[in-house]
Structure 1
């Protein structure tokens, strides 16, 4: 694949070219980790958002609670 270029906006924002987003499976919510390497070279790592992290958790019935009483019990002011 040929090199891609994007322009940095006045607010420091850049757009990831669509073809790169598709090839690297970059989706909304994913993060990019920027690292400055030797000689002012910049590398970017994709941190994919993890979905379904809590899918295996079972809901627990906590019963009725009174937030004011709970705060008083645990030292709230």
Structure 2
């Protein structure tokens, strides 16, 4: 079970806030991740973490598949 965390931050003049380190660590928030904001009709705010997947394929070795002819591929597979 996730421990309850209660933190308070201050909004800067430009509207920015710092996410407390306990919250970042608990949710695995890293540089480049995004926050999606949901505000409902009752003014209840929910924040969803959108983890970015940059570099996820960095460790995979490329495979040489030779040249591809786009015209042949379109005719054979109907790729538009």
Does the pair score TM above 0.5? yes
| Segment of structure 1 superposing worse, 21-30 or 37-46 | 37-46
What are structure 2's unaligned runs of at least 5 residues? 65-80
Partner of 1:49: 52
The reply on whether 1:39 has 2:54 as its aligned counterpart is no
The whole-number CA distance in structure 1 between the counterparts of 2:5 and 2:33 is: 24
The whole-number CA distance in structure 1 between the counterparts of 2:8 and 2:54 is: 30
The reply on whether 1:18 has 2:21 as its aligned counterpart is yes
> Relative to structure 1, is the Cα distance of residues 41 and 57 closer, same or farther in structure 2, using a 3 angstrom cutoff?
farther
Task: Identify which of 1, 4, 7 aligns with 1:4.
Answer: 7
Indicate the SS of the match to 2:15.
Answer: coil
8 Å Cα contact 2:39/2:46 also seen in 1: yes
- Following superposition, the deviation at residue 43 of structure 1 comes to 0.8
Q: What RMSD over aligned residues (CA atoms) do the two structures have, in Å?
A: 2.0
Partner of 1:27: 30
The Cα offsets for residues 11-67 of structure 1, whole Å up to 9 and x where unpaired, read as: 00001000000000000000000111131111100000103355458377xxxxxxx
